[in-house]
Amino acid sequence: MDLFKTKEDICREFNVSKATIDNWIKIDLIPDYQNENGYTIEEYELICKIIKNSGKLNNRANRSRTKKKKISFLGIKGYCRKKQLREVIDLHNKLKFSTEHSILALSIIQLQSALLLKENWDTNPTTKIECFISEWMKECRFDISQCKNFSDVLDIKNENDDFIGAFYQSIKNTAEKSEIGAYYTPGNLLDNISIQGDKTVLDPCCGSGGILLRILQKTHNSNLIYARDIDETALKICRVNLTMFFNDPDMSAHIEKYDIINFETDMIKFDYLVTNPPWGSKSDETLKKQLKKLYPVLNTSESYSIALYNSIIHLIKENGTLIFFLPYSILNVATHKNIRKFLYEKKYNMKINLLGKCFPGVMSEVIRLEINIGIKSEQIQIISNDKTYMLDFSKIEEPFYTIPVTADENGFEILDKIYKKNHLKLHKKESIFAKGIITGNNNGVLNTNSVEDEPIIESVDIVPFRINEPKSVIDISNPKKFHQVAKLEKYRQKKIVFRFISNKIICAIDTHNRLLLNNANLFIPQIDYPFESIVCLLNSKVYTYIVQKKYHSISLLDWHISSLPIPIITDEKHKIFYDIHENLSLNENKNEMDKLNEFVYKIFELNQDEINIIEKNIK
């Protein structure tokens, strides 16, 4: 046993970042090293106890440590079948079997019900599936009599609905799923995928095989099927599922452990690749650095960017078809800009289906990305709520290559008209941006009754044109104790403050040199343009429309603001903006807001039809 433990050991123990550990030390939750070797075993055990009892692992930032379990009915239909799944889970918990023993028992019972195991299979295995199950039993020291604990109570037949996979998903806790970024793909999203029976098919992140069960035909040549994953238990379930699907004890699909994120070049290429890759699987800092070095063209450690890139480069045939289920963030988050740049430069024939929030228990919106590798195109087909429209690649702009899929043809005509107006931009060379203070422990540092306390603006204090009187105060005399603080001089001047978490711009001018907290951010324009005019523009419906159609994000980033068009207008129009701002900064006034929106519409010379589209589509 090691005599000392390190901060990296704490990171691995609690699945948190090094920055989180450093912050906990800053706020005196845990101690720093007392000697150069690290923590003694006694110190380490005490620190682990402190962290577990602190409540820090229950907050939003550390939700991946939670042990919450939720029954996964995805793929399971009908009241009786769902009731049976609940009963199996209850029985598993009552028997206190290991996860693998319960899965193996269920696999044997279902294979027997499908007549795919003969009577003496356990003493004289002959088929592929019999030999596989026999080896599995030896590996985990399984007694065949354990099956009776389930079969004597429940009649669990195979219905090709991945019942065992649903059981496995259900007894895994949220932390385990978050760790590998794995969530089950709802079957209805796969209904219109059709694959010819003589084509090679790969799911490189197959899990228990749920996708393959939905997209394959029973007449498909099983030797052309490839199923891969890093989860060995899921792969065993997948083999059982495919054996039952093809009703063939000698089914010959190629099922193997394989990491699509970090693998050697594969010589086999496939006609079809259909998958739901890991979303944001957890990697330690060492692996993140390795991945960035391994994929310099992407410069990211995000798993699904890498999975998509590897699939295109190494796994799909020149005329093959690739279908990925991905979070919407692949289209608009800066972390994925290089995979978007790659797709932009390749000009593949692509189809993007906007599926919304369709994964139960997952807050992210989802897309289905389909790429025909052998066909080039100047447009991307977008499907949203049964409406189809084409997006020109020319609408994808540097430097972030955001794919603005929520704007249809009419939307792009309006955006083009807005951006054709002579304008300035708030690029970082022309503006100063800064984030609010991240304390790492708001409850511990706000409202402490210190003599050094001063007001601090929170996100909720910011409303259009005004900043409500801050309810919180903070002692900034020792800024180094906080997790993140901008240079104080950025707060100590006239500035425009805005809500970071918002799907539209909500901003106001601060002239009192106040501090900002967490999700309240700021920028200071360096262009010759009145602050009042900028705030009027950004709070208007036109700019809400721009932000929602171009970026479709619940967070307002610096580069979103810096890319917005600030129209060049006359001094007379600036005076009108100034008067509107003065009125709205005093109190909320609907008539004055209507006057502002009408004025901005006129600046961009928008007609009534275009105004109607804007007002109908903004949220």
Residues 357 and 453 in one domain: no
Question: What pLDDT score does 1 carry?
Answer: 43
Residues 336 and 392 in one domain: yes
* Residues making up the chain, counted from first to last: 619
Q: What is the pTM of this model?
A: 0.82
In a domain, 581, yes or no: yes
Question: What pLDDT score does 27 carry?
Answer: 66
Provide the token pair at 335: 């972390």
Residues 365 and 318 in one domain: yes
Question: What pLDDT score does 3 carry?
Answer: 65
Nearest-angstrom CA–CA distance, 453 and 299: 42
Q: Contact at 8 Å (CB) between 326 and 367?
A: yes
Nearest-angstrom CA–CA distance, 504 and 418: 17
Residues 10 and 140 in one domain: no
Question: What pLDDT score does 142 carry?
Answer: 94
Helix (H) or strand (E) holding 5: strand 4-5
| Helix (H/G/I), strand (E/B), else coil: 23 | helix
In a domain, 421, yes or no: no
Domain that holds residue 235: 71-186+228-252
Question: What pLDDT score does 449 carry?
Answer: 78
| Helix (H/G/I), strand (E/B), else coil: 244 | helix
Return all residues near 229 (Cβ < 8 A) that are at least 6 apart.
204, 205, 206, 207, 235, 238, 257, 258
Q: What are phi and psi of 368, to 5 degrees?
A: -110, 115
39-40 and 4-5 as β-strands: parallel, antiparallel, unpaired?
antiparallel
Question: What pLDDT score does 216 carry?
Answer: 96
Provide the token pair at 355: 């599926």
Q: Please list the rounded mean pLDDT of every run of 10 residues in the chain (619 residues).
A: 73 78 76 76 81 71 51 85 94 93 96 94 96 96 92 89 92 58 76 92 95 96 96 96 98 95 78 91 76 90 92 94 95 93 97 90 88 96 91 91 90 94 88 92 82 91 96 91 92 96 95 94 96 98 96 90 96 97 91 96 97 94
Q: Contact at 8 Å (CB) between 524 and 495?
A: yes
The domain tally of the chain equals: 4
In a domain, 426, yes or no: no
Nearest-angstrom CA–CA distance, 515 and 520: 9
Q: Contact at 8 Å (CB) between 618 and 504?
A: yes
In a domain, 300, yes or no: yes
Q: What are phi and psi of 414, to 5 degrees?
A: -70, -45
Nearest-angstrom CA–CA distance, 465 and 532: 9
Residues 45 and 130 in one domain: no
Question: What pLDDT score does 593 carry?
Answer: 96
Q: Contact at 8 Å (CB) between 350 and 308?
A: no
431-434 and 520-525 as β-strands: parallel, antiparallel, unpaired?
antiparallel
Question: What pLDDT score does 230 carry?
Answer: 92
Kindly report the CATH number assigned to the domain that includes residue 562: 3.90.220.10
Q: Contact at 8 Å (CB) between 463 and 505?
A: no
In a domain, 607, yes or no: yes
Residues 77 and 58 in one domain: no
Nearest-angstrom CA–CA distance, 98 and 69: 16
Residues 474 and 346 in one domain: no
Kindly report the CATH number assigned to the domain that includes residue 278: 3.40.50.150
In a domain, 267, yes or no: yes
Q: Contact at 8 Å (CB) between 520 and 457?
A: yes
Question: What pLDDT score does 409 carry?
Answer: 86
Residues 545 and 607 in one domain: yes
Question: What pLDDT score does 60 carry?
Answer: 43
Residues 490 and 476 in one domain: yes
